[in-house]
Amino acid sequence: MTWLSLKLAVDGDQAEALSDALLAAGALAVSTEDRDAGTEAEEAQFGEPGLADLKSWRHNWVVALLDGDADVPALLASLNLPEPIEYRLETVAEQDWVRLTQSQFDPIRIADRLWIVPSWHEAPDVDAIAIILDPGLAFGTGSHPTTRLCLQWLEANLRPGETVLDYGCGSGILAIAAVKLGAGRTVGVDIDPQAVESARDNAARNAVEADFRLSGDLPEGDYDVVVANILTNPLKALMPLLAARTRPGGRIILSGILEAQADEVAAIYAAAFVMRLEAVDEGWALLTGMRR
């Protein structure tokens, strides 16, 4: 059996209504994606402190999964869409999705002593630290340059016993890596309850103790190392909060920043930190700073 994937380009104020209309017209499933993803215009969908809680992006792909024999022209006509509208149609073949997904994720070497290993693989190096992590709904498998940059920094620079805050923890990969690399008290927070649940599950799978919770429940206190791998706009808004959570002389690690945006972010954080551009990987920047 095959299906059809129909992607329609709409602005934010149209996305919800179009999603409802597609489902009413017989779509099997509908999702929304940021049409600006991977560009300087990319933005967080969910609110952080100081940001609006968006219901959609400014520019969206509304993606509908349809039966393979669906009458797409008739469907489009029934939606009463403005003309012209950009859309894309692709065929989705039936596959063994579990096996296909697993085949796309091999162990990832982060550094000489640190690997990310899916649960269906053996650790390639028995003498290295292996983080057992499967692809899931929460962001962070180690394959993206922003996550890789943070992991490489932790592997090379984290000192035994240092306290760590992972702000925007996603899958928990950075906090779990920190504990395995010798960190002391480690806390991970996220605005998404599903991410917090995923991070707790991943910590249990890796037999590490880390405290994962929603960002609104972040306990009082500061940390030796604060790491935030999110996006540029949330990072800019979060500067006062993250600075307050970094002890004097402590270090901050920021990623999720396009190289072209690095100077802008560094300038904002320079009010509280001595900042530097630490590394660049595939156009993504890692900024580090020491708290004044």
Please state, in angstroms and rounded to a whole number, the distance separating the CA atoms of residues 137 and 139. 7
Asked if 272 and 167 sit in the same domain, the reply is yes
pTM here is 0.70
Domain-embedded: residue 51: yes
Within-domain flag for 124: no
Cα 193–chain centre separation: 14
117: in domain:
no
Instruction: Please check whether residues 24 and 89 belong to one and the same domain.
Output: yes
Clarify whether residues 151 and 259 are in a common domain: yes
Bridge partners (DSSP) of residue 52 are none
Are 165 and 226 found together in one domain? yes
59 in Cβ contact with 40 (< 8 Å): no
Give the CATH number, domain containing residue 202. 3.40.50.150
Residue range 222-248, pLDDT digits in tens: 999 999 999 999 999 999 999 999 999
The reply to whether 60 falls in a domain is yes
Which residues does residue 227 pair with via DSSP β-bridges, in sequence order?
166, 253
d(CA 218, CA 220): 7
**107 domain-assigned:** no
Asked whether residue 153 falls in the same domain as residue 283, the answer is: yes
The count of structural domains within the chain is: 2
Looking at the fold, whether 69 and 151 belong to one and the same domain comes out as no
| The pLDDT of residue 254 | 98
The CB-side HSE value for 260 (13 A sphere, CA atoms) comes to: 5
Give the model's pLDDT for residue 141: 67
147-174 pLDDT, tens per residue? Answer: 999 999 999 999 999 999 999 999 999 9
Query: How buried is residue 232: exposed, middle or buried, by Cβ count under 10 Å (0-12/13-18/19+)?
Result: buried
Assigned domain for 118 exists:
no
The per-residue pLDDT string of the chain (292 residues; one tens digit each, 9 = 90 and over) reads: 688 999 999 987 788 889 999 999 999 889 888 888 878 777 655 444 444 444 568 889 999 999 989 999 999 989 888 777 889 999 987 655 555 455 556 788 999 899 989 888 888 898 999 999 876 544 566 778 999 999 999 999 999 999 999 999 999 999 999 999 999 999 999 999 989 999 999 999 999 999 999 999 999 999 999 999 999 999 999 999 999 999 999 999 999 999 999 999 999 999 999 999 999 999 999 999 999 9
Phi-psi label, residue 188: left if phi above 0, alpha if psi -120 to 50, beta otherwise: beta
Note down the domain range covering 25: 2-94
pLDDT at residue 276, as a whole number: 98
Rounded Cα–Cα distance for residues 250 and 223 (Å): 7
Say if residue 280 is in the same domain as residue 149.
Answer: yes
282 and 158, same domain (yes or no)? yes
* Long-range contacts of the stretch 84-89 (C-beta < 8 A, 24+): 85/8, 85/9, 85/10, 86/8, 86/9, 87/6, 87/7, 87/8, 87/9, 88/6, 88/7, 89/4, 89/5, 89/6, 89/7
The residue out of 94, 121, 152 marking a domain boundary is 94
CB count in 10 Å sphere of residue 263: 13
Is the distance from CB of 247 to CB of 165 less than 8 angstroms? no
Q: Which residues of 175-200 are buried (b: 16+ CB within 10 A; e: fewer)?
A: bbbbbbbebebbbbbbbbeebbebbb
> Residue 68 maps to which CATH number?
3.30.70.120
Residue at 182 is within a domain:
yes
Please indicate, yes or no, whether residues 168 and 284 belong to a single structural domain of this protein: yes
Q: Which pLDDT belongs to residue 112? A: 86
Residue 133 lies in a domain: no
Name the domain boundary from 94, 126, 160: 94
